[in-house]
C-alpha cells in the first residue's frame, strides 16, 4: 500500500506516472526494451525529448526567445554555471539575496568567480522571512541578480518577483510548476528536478537567448549554456530515464489543469496545515506569516523531547519523511504537486490526535 510521502527531495512522484513507467519498463512503446536502453539520439528518444520541452513550454508559457535546457548536475551545478555563464558580460559584480541555506551555497560558489554583493539578508531573524525591496542595497551595474524564490530548508517563499534592471536569475527548484510565473521577467531560471519535476539526476534551465554568449573564458564545456543549447541538451549522453519521467510528469500536470490548477491546490493544502498549526499551542511555525512557503512547511513541537515519538508514530501511521533538515531540526512537511490533499488531511488528523494524547 502506498503511503503519504512528505520528503523534501527526492520527493513524491505522481502515482499515475509511476504506474506508466512500471508498465513500460521492460517494453517501451512496443520496442521490446526499456527507454533506458535506446540511444539518446534515436528518433524515438528525440521525440520524447522534444515533447517534454514543448509540454514544459506550454505549462509555463515560455516565450520563443528562451532556450529550454535539460542539464546534468542538479541545481547545485548551476550555482557554478550561473557565474561562469554571466560574469563575462556587462558588469563585474553579482547581486544576491541571502535567505537561507541554498542561497548561502549559491553565494559561496559565485564568489569563486567574481565579486558578490549581498543585496539583502534575512539572517537577522534566523531566515524566517523574505526581505522586501525597500531593504535592498543593489549594485549600480550588476552582471545579474540572483535569488531563491523558495528556501526548501527554512520554508520561506517570496510572494513577489523582484523588479531589477539586470538579468534576473532564480533557483526555482522547490516551487517551479506550482503556479504561473512571468518567465519574460527572468534572464535565467533553473531547477533541480527532484521536487516538482521528476526524479533526481536532471535539472531544467530556461535561458534567454541574449545571455547565451556571456561566458567567462575557460568555462567547463559541461556547464556552458551555449553548448547545451546548440546541442539540444545532448552534447553528451543525458540522463534519459529522468528526462522521460519528467516528460510524463509534464503530461500529468497538463491533464490536471496545468500550473494554475496546481496553484489553487497548493494554496488549499498549505492553508489547511498552517491553519491547524496556528490554532494549536502544541505546534508552531518558525516562519513569518507573509513569507510562508506553500511547498515546504517547517514546524516545531512545544516540547522537543517528543520529537522522536512524533516521528516514530507518524511513520507508523503511514506519514513518511517528516523530520526537519539536520541544520534546523524540528519537522517539515513538503507539499509538492504530487502530494495529494488526502495526505495533508491525514497529517492534520494525526497531529491533532498526537497533541490530544501527548500534550
DSSP state string for 71-87: ESSHHHHHHHHHHHHHT
Q: How far apart are CA 191 and CA 70, in angstroms?
A: 10
Q: Record the cell numbers describing residue 292, joined without a space.
A: 510562508
Q: How far apart are CA 108 and CA 239, in angstroms?
A: 27
pLDDT given for residue 274 in this prediction: 98
Instruction: Band the pLDDT of 253: cuts 50, 70, 90.
Output: very high
18, 345 contact by CB (below 8 A): no
Q: How far apart are CA 33 and CA 29, in angstroms?
A: 9
The β-bridge partners of 299 are 331
Instruction: Band the pLDDT of 27: cuts 50, 70, 90.
Output: very high
Mean confidence (pLDDT) of the chain:
97
Q: Which among 195, 243, 252, 269 is annotated as catalytic?
A: 195
Q: Is the pLDDT of residue 326 over 90?
A: no
Handedness of CA 317, 319, 320, 324 (dihedral sign): negative
Q: What is the mean pLDDT of residues 240-258?
A: 98
Q: What is the mean pLDDT of residues 288-310?
A: 97
84 annotated active-site: no
Instruction: Band the pLDDT of 90: cuts 50, 70, 90.
Output: confident
Pick the CATH number of 16-255 from 3.90.800.10, 3.40.640.10, 3.40.50.1000, 3.40.50.2000: 3.40.640.10
Q: Is the pLDDT of residue 224 over 90?
A: yes
Q: Which residues contact 264 (CB under 8 A, 6 or more apart)?
A: none
The β-bridge partners of 79 are none
pLDDT given for residue 89 in this prediction: 80
Q: Is the pLDDT of residue 297 over 90?
A: yes
Count CA atoms within 13 Å of residue 135 on its CB side.
Answer: 12
Q: Is the pLDDT of residue 128 over 90?
A: yes
CATH class name, domain 258-358: alpha beta
Q: Is the pLDDT of residue 91 over 90?
A: no
Q: Which among 28, 171, 243, 323 is annotated as catalytic?
A: 171
27 annotated active-site: no
Q: What is the mean pLDDT of residues 75-99?
A: 95
Instruction: Band the pLDDT of 276: cuts 50, 70, 90.
Output: very high
Instruction: Band the pLDDT of 349: cuts 50, 70, 90.
Output: very high
Q: Record the cell numbers describing residue 229, joined without a space.
A: 543549447
Q: How far apart are CA 56 and CA 176, in angstroms?
A: 11
Q: How far apart are CA 236 and CA 162, in angstroms?
A: 35
Closest by Cα among 289, 290, 288, 202 to 248: 202
CB-count exposure of residue 221 (10 Å: 0-12, 13-18, 19+):
exposed
Q: Is the pLDDT of residue 6 over 90?
A: yes
Handedness of CA 252, 258, 261, 262 (dihedral sign): positive
The C-alpha angle with vertex 269 and arms to 265 and 275, in degrees rounded to 5, equals 140
Q: What is the mean pLDDT of residues 224-238?
A: 97
Q: Which among 102, 225, 243, 252 is annotated as catalytic?
A: 102
In percent, the amount of the chain with pLDDT more than 90 equals: 97
pLDDT given for residue 92 in this prediction: 86
In percent, the amount of the chain with pLDDT more than 70 equals: 100
pLDDT given for residue 251 in this prediction: 98
Q: How far apart are CA 47 and CA 240, in angstroms?
A: 12
- pLDDT per position as a tens digit, 143-163: 999 999 999 999 999 999 999
171 annotated active-site: yes
Q: Please state the domain extents for the chain.
A: 16-255, 258-358
Instruction: Band the pLDDT of 189: cuts 50, 70, 90.
Output: very high
The H or E element spanning position 263 is helix 258-278
What do you get for the CA distance between the two ends of the chain, in Å?
31
pLDDT given for residue 108 in this prediction: 98
Amino acid at each position: 500500500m502506498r503511503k503519504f510521502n512528505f520528503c523534501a527531495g527526492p520527493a513524491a512522484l505522481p502515482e499515475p506516472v509511476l504506474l506508466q513507467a512500471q508498465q513500460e519498463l521492460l517494453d517501451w512503446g512496443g520496442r521490446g526494451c526499456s527507454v533506458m536502453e535506446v540511444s539518446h539520439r534515436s528518433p524515438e528518444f528525440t521525440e520524447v525529448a522534444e515533447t517534454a520541452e514543448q509540454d514544459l513550454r506550454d505549462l509555463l508559457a515560455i516565450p520563443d526567445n528562451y532556450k529550454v535546457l535539460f542539464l546534468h548536475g542538479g541545481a547545485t551545478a548551476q550555482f557554478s554555471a550561473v557565474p561562469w555563464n554571466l560574469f563575462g558580460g556587462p558588469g563585474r559584480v553579482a547581486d544576491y539575496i541571502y535567505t537561507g541555506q541554498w542561497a548561502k551555497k549559491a553565494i559561496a560558489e559565485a564568489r569563486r568567480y567574481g565579486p558578490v554583493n549581498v543585496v539583502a539578508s534575512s539572517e537577522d531573524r534566523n531566515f524566517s522571512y523574505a526581505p522586501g525591496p525597500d531593504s535592498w542595497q543593489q549594485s549600480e551595474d550588476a552582471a545579474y541578480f540572483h535569488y531563491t524564490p523558495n528556501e526548501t530548508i527554512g520554508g520561506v517563499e517570496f510572494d513577489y518577483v523582484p523588479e531589477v534592471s539586470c538579468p534576473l536569475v532564480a533557483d526555482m527548484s522547490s516551487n517551479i510548476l506550482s503556479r504561473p510565473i512571468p518567465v519574460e521577467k527572468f534572464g535565467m531560471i533553473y531547477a533541480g528536478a527532484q521536487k516538482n519535476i521528476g526524479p533526481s539526476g536532471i535539472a531544467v534551465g530556461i535561458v534567454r537567448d541574449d545571455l547565451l554568449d556571456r561566458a567567462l573564458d575557460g568555462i567547463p564545456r559541461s556547464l556552458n549554456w551555449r553548448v547545451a543549447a546548440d546541442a539540444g541538451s545532448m552534447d553528451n549522453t543525458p540522463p534519459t530515464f529522468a528526462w522521460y519521467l519528467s516528460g510524463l510528469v509534464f503530461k500529468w500536470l497538463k491533464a490536471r489543469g496545468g500550473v494554475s490548477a496546481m496553484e489553487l491546490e497548493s494554496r488549499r493544502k498549505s492553508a489547511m496545515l498552517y491553519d491547524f498549526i496556528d490554532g494549536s499551542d502544541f505546534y508552531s511555525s518558525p516562519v513569518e506569516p507573509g513569507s510562508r512557503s506553500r511547498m515546504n512547511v517547517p514546524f516545531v513541537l512545544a516540547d522537543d523531547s517528543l520529537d522522536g515519538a512524533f516521528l516514530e508514530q507518524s511513520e507508523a501511521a503511514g506519514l513518511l519523511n517528516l523530520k526537519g533538515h539536520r541544520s534546523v531540526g524540528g519537522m517539515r512537511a513538503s507539499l509538492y504537486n504530487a502530494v495529494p490533499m488526502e495526505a495533508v488531511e491525514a497529517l492534520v488528523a494525526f497531529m491533532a490526535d498526537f497533541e490530544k494524547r501527548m500534550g
